[in-house]
Amino acid sequence: MEDLHALEERMLAQIADAGDLPALEQARVAALGKRSPLTQAMKGLGGLDVDARKEAGVRLNRIKRRLGDAVEARRGALERAALDERLATERVDVTLPPRPEGEGAVHPVGQVLDELIAILADMGFRVADGPDIEDDFHNFTALNIPPEHPARQMHDTFYFRADEAGERMLLRTHTSPVQIRHMQAEPPPHRIIAPGRTYRCDYDMTHTPMFHQIEGLVIDESTHMGHLKGCLIDLARAFFEVDDLPVRFRPSYFPFTEPSAEMDIGCSREGGGLRIGHGADWMEILGCGMVHPKVLEIVGLDPARYQGFAFGIGVERPAMLKYGIPDLRSFFDADLRWLRHYGFAPFDVPSLAAGLSA
Ligand code: PHE
């Protein structure tokens, strides 16, 4: 029993000498681990007779508790010392200004989409949605663009590989297929806008393979060209924030509208810069027209009873005009410096809430 006392003293000394936490862990394993003399002695208790077992058991347990307490005490002391050392060497200068937090910005496309949607929602339009990956029927055929129609070439379509039946899905070349989907899904009257991404195989100063449009569709029993003009003139003036913005409608051609037009806004290019408003020049901003009777027939509406107008406005071009962004391609370069320069503070879309709750 005397060597047990010596063992305890040796272990206590080792624990007290441990200079850091790894050394303390070593001392703990040596004192209390599975292979330690103490644990081995406890295992041997079974071989003793009852009285001797009781006495030795009490003693061993007492040693075990003392060693355990010593380890914990030493651990506490080491941790305190480490903290004291850190407190002595590290300093917090509470007078330093806070580090600036990375703050996000709203991309001009998102901003202009919100602005246009807010204006149109104020007019009573509701937002509708459709898939980016379309079938030929909704993107072309139902819009009165049959398979051999030259307009198909004009659209520079991205096609997917054909399935067994020879059907090719495609990336929608405009938001007009949402008109079809909406008229198929719900009965008239219709008054919807469909903002979203569109895709064409084209890339230069004024074209990117992905861009955004907002489609508009109004169908009712007495809608006429005057409604189209009033709606789009108000839209352009509200968006560019120029009350007497000159606009003109130029006859044009789309297979899914008749008559068709393109709307230009007045601008001036004097002195190299571009200015919206009065001037000698015109700038095209959207395509529009009265929905073609064939399109109405395809979705099961009687053209003798229902009529209406549609328009498709690009998002990037008005964004470039309103906010003075010179190169379309820069929109999608994901350059943070560009975004910091042209981006908008979040929560700064004043009329959106009013528009959507109207
Ligand atoms: N979908 C046409 C385009 O992308 C625009 C348009 C929409 C024209 C609706 C008329 C009516 O060019």
Q: What's the CA-to-centroid distance between 175 and ligand 1, angstroms?
A: 8
Residue 245 confidence (pLDDT): 95
Q: Whose CA is nearest to atom 5 of ligand 1?
A: 312
CA distance 68 to 12: 10
Residue 348 confidence (pLDDT): 58
For residue 47, CA distances in Å to 39, 43, 240 come to: 14, 9, 97
Residue 2 confidence (pLDDT): 53
Is any ligand 1 atom within 6 A of the Cβ of residue 311?
Answer: yes
Is any ligand 1 atom within 6 A of the Cβ of residue 257?
Answer: yes
CA distance 60 to 41: 8
Q: What's the CA-to-centroid distance between 213 and ligand 1, angstroms?
A: 9
Is any ligand 1 atom within 6 A of the Cβ of residue 288?
Answer: yes
Q: Using DSSP, state whether 195 is helix, strand or coil.
A: strand
Q: What's the CA-to-centroid distance between 310 and ligand 1, angstroms?
A: 8
Helix (H) or strand (E) holding 211: strand 210-220
Question: What does the block give as tokens for 263?
Answer: 């709307």
Positive or negative torsion for Cα 155, 125, 310, 274 = negative
CATH no. of 108-342: 3.30.930.10
CA distance 144 to 20: 82
- The distance in angstroms from the start CA to the end CA of the chain is 92
Q: What's the CA-to-centroid distance between 312 and ligand 1, angstroms?
A: 4
Is any ligand 1 atom within 6 A of the Cβ of residue 196?
Answer: no
Residue 3 confidence (pLDDT): 83
Is any ligand 1 atom within 6 A of the Cβ of residue 308?
Answer: no
Which atom from ligand 1 is nearest to the alpha carbon of 260?
10
Residue 350 confidence (pLDDT): 52
Strands 190-199 and 126-127: parallel
Q: Are 8 and 36 in contact (CB under 8 A)?
A: no
Beta-carbon-side half-sphere exposure of residue 70 (alpha carbons within 13 Å): 24
Residue 353 confidence (pLDDT): 44
- Domain boundary assignment for the chain: 4-89, 108-342
Residue 354 confidence (pLDDT): 46
Is any ligand 1 atom within 6 A of the Cβ of residue 310?
Answer: yes
Is any ligand 1 atom within 6 A of the Cβ of residue 140?
Answer: no
Q: What's the CA-to-centroid distance between 286 and ligand 1, angstroms?
A: 8
**pLDDT averaged per 10 residues in sequence order, the chain, 358 residues:** 81 92 93 91 88 90 93 94 91 87 88 96 96 96 89 82 91 97 97 97 89 98 97 96 95 97 92 81 95 98 98 95 89 93 78 45
Is any ligand 1 atom within 6 A of the Cβ of residue 314?
Answer: no
Mutate to test the pocket of ligand 1, among 254, 257, 316 (most ligand atoms within 8 A of CB): 254
Q: Whose CA is nearest to atom 9 of ligand 1?
A: 311
Residue 355 confidence (pLDDT): 46
Question: What does the block give as tokens for 130?
Answer: 């459709």
Which atom from ligand 1 is nearest to the alpha carbon of 216?
9
Which atom from ligand 1 is nearest to the alpha carbon of 175?
1
Is any ligand 1 atom within 6 A of the Cβ of residue 287?
Answer: yes
Q: Whose CA is nearest to atom 7 of ligand 1?
A: 312
